[in-house]
Structure 1
Amino acid sequence: MDNVSVITMFTLAGLNGTANYRVTLFALTLLCYCVIWLVNVTIIMTIIVDKNLHEPMYIFLCNLCINGLYGTAGFYPKFLSDLLSSTHVISHAGCLLQGFVLHSSACADFSLLVLMAFDRYVAVCRPLVYHSVMTKEKISVCLFFAWLLPICLVLMSTITTSTSRLCGSHIPKIYCINFLIGKLACSASIASIIIPAFNYTFYFFHVIFIVWSYMHLIRKCIFSSENRSKFMQTCLPHLLCLIIVVVCLLFDLLYIRFGSKELPQGVQNFMAIEFLLIPPLINPIIYGFKLTQIRNRIIGSLFCLFHTYA
């Protein structure tokens, strides 16, 4: 029993049986990762460069895209290197770090989406006080806590997981998360139960707040054509992004806990990767196409670039 906790490496079993199409999978994954970087960096740089976009909604969107790059950086580089390797292992510290990045990125997504929902609520339902409520100072404080709280909450969970005595080293997935590391513990501690439960409850109330804000938004927009136009232009993209994030994360969480292990490994891998593929890729595209100012700025930049090199 003295040796059960001395585990320095974990085995990632998700890529077993992929040797025959490893090169194809590597090329597709690399292409997806490049596209994720392209669309997110395009939105980020467009908002940073154009001073007309230095408004709360666009600042929150910029942070959402940065968080998308942060979260995917915790998965894709390691996954790509595993595709080129015959052994799929990760160190204990690397596993904890990967779990921390993925968890904190998912939590930060909800924090930023809450800020965006609050911004839309004030803009549509209380337009007269919008500029007094959404000041630069208040936005800075909100963003600071939107990043700090997920990091602190997930860090507590990661520290608890790191101190657990482990009785195994087999991770049945293509990446590490705290839940799977915790399942390898010889015994569950009270902290390993209470802290995740608190975190889930905390972010469940984030979802409740967003639902509450959209109930007021929809009620306000039903009888006003001007508000309906504002809702379709700025609230609809946020609502679509929110649905994508919630569905992907909820699907992944439910599958981890209740999903069948008899499904083909390729299907299991897609279910594991979908929240690291769909939201970071689709959300910037939705905002880029739907928000007129961002779309016009990107088209204008591409037009100028084309004429420069033509």
Structure 2
Amino acid sequence: MLTSGNSSSHPKSFILLGIPGLEISQFWIAFPFCAMYVVAVLGNITLLHIIRTDHTLHEPMYLFLAMLAVTDLVLSSSTQSKMLAILWFHAHEIEYHACLIQVFFIHAFSSVESGVLMAMALDRYVAICFPLRHSSILTTPVVATLGAVVMLRGVLWVSPFCFMVSRMPFCQSQIIPQSYCEHMAVLKLVCADTRVNRGYGLFVAFSVGEFDMIVISLSYVMILRAVLQLPSGEARLKAFGTCASHICVILAFYIPALFTFLTHRFGHHVPQVVHIMFANVYLLVPPMLNPIIYGVRTKQIRNRVIQGCCGKVP
């Protein structure tokens, strides 16, 4: 089962177990996962269609939201088709290079999603603290540049994961006790010293996640200070309302992401089934919730959805 090369050997494929401990229930568990994935795909495609066709929504907030929708589609689609095949059809085998590609897409686009959330926080900061200069500061070229930088960061930071793993020898065990290929799960199958890989993984996690969370936190501290200085209560409520949906999206992404990251490295006493379920939730629930949250909280998008369904705007 091993293929030898000049500097490494690797199996032709890996075996993904799905959800160890819930083998009997896996067939039925797949149905809610499938339903959430369908909602995620339909919701994000609807968002993209509305933003593309309505020229009044070609503003920084909605352009960043379009980037978030594309990222969510890639992030959820990179794992869900294979996961459903495992749970429904027992298609546990995944080819070696397909596994590394999955590792790349999961981690690269998780980084992109974090970066887009950071960019959206900066957009809210400029919109509330410098409302008269918002359109001149966050022009379309600036928004496009931010999006390109976030994408490039994800690709450049995560690509070494796959390169380093591909150069290392693997043990005889080919079993990954998860529903998809994740960097740390694949790294546990390597028969070599992985301290450099683990160290680089921590560097990427902290240089991306911690940096983005610091920028988001500082942005909202400045927003809070500016909002509390507004003269009227109605103005304060309106300002808070414009940020509420973004805060919900941030929490939906970072809470399961932090739990999954910490459990992989330090949660030795966390039951495996809990860890695996959260790992699946992390890549599925935010893509499902994001279009729902923005659809409910954002008047322009809500009106367009109602208009498309009912033929009129309330």
TM-score w.r.t. length of structure 1: 0.90
Question: How big is the shift at 1:140?
Answer: 1.1
- Amino acid paired to 1:207: M
CA distance in 2, matches of 1:36, 1:296: 20
User: Per-residue CA shift, 1:219-277, capped at 9, x if unaligned?
Assistant: 11012136523432321111111111110100111222233567373x44322211122
> 1:158 matched to which residue of 2?
162
Q: Is the 8 A contact 2:51 2:66 kept in 1?
A: yes
Aligned runs of 1:141-180 on 2, under 5 Å? 141-167=145-171, 168-180=173-185
User: Per-residue CA shift, 1:53-98, capped at 9, x if unaligned?
Assistant: 1100011011101111100111110011112333512111111111
Q: Is the 8 A contact 2:253 2:286 kept in 1?
A: yes
CA distance in 1, matches of 2:307, 2:293: 18
User: Per-residue CA shift, 1:92-147, capped at 9, x if unaligned?
Assistant: 11111111111112111111011101111111112232122111111111111121
Match of 1:208 among 206, 214, 217: 214
Runs of 4+ in 1 over 4 A off after TM superposition: 1-4, 16-19
Residue 290 in structure 1 maps to residue 290 in structure 2: no
- Amino acid paired to 2:112: A
Residue 12 in structure 1 maps to residue 25 in structure 2: no
Residue 303 in structure 1 maps to residue 310 in structure 2: yes
Q: 1:17 to 1:248 in 2, by over 3 A?
A: closer
Q: 1:183 to 1:103 in 2, by over 3 A?
A: same
Aligned runs of 1:101-116 on 2, under 5 Å? 101-116=105-120
CA distance in 2, matches of 1:221, 1:253: 34
CA distance in 2, matches of 1:2, 1:293: 55
Q: Which moved more, 1:287-296 or 1:16-25?
A: 16-25
> 2:131 matched to which residue of 1?
127
> 1:218 matched to which residue of 2?
224
Question: How big is the shift at 1:287?
Answer: 0.8
Q: 1:166 to 1:264 in 2, by over 3 A?
A: closer
- Amino acid paired to 1:247: I
**Percentage of matched positions with identical amino acids:** 31
- Amino acid paired to 1:62: A
Q: Is the 8 A contact 2:169 2:190 kept in 1?
A: yes
Runs of at least 5 residues in structure 1 that lack an aligned partner in the other structure: 306-310
SS at match of 1:202: helix
Q: 1:227 to 1:185 in 2, by over 3 A?
A: farther
> 1:57 matched to which residue of 2?
61
TM-score w.r.t. length of structure 2: 0.89
CA RMSD in angstroms, aligned pairs only:
2.3
Q: Is the 8 A contact 1:164 1:182 kept in 2?
A: no
Q: How many residues align?
A: 304
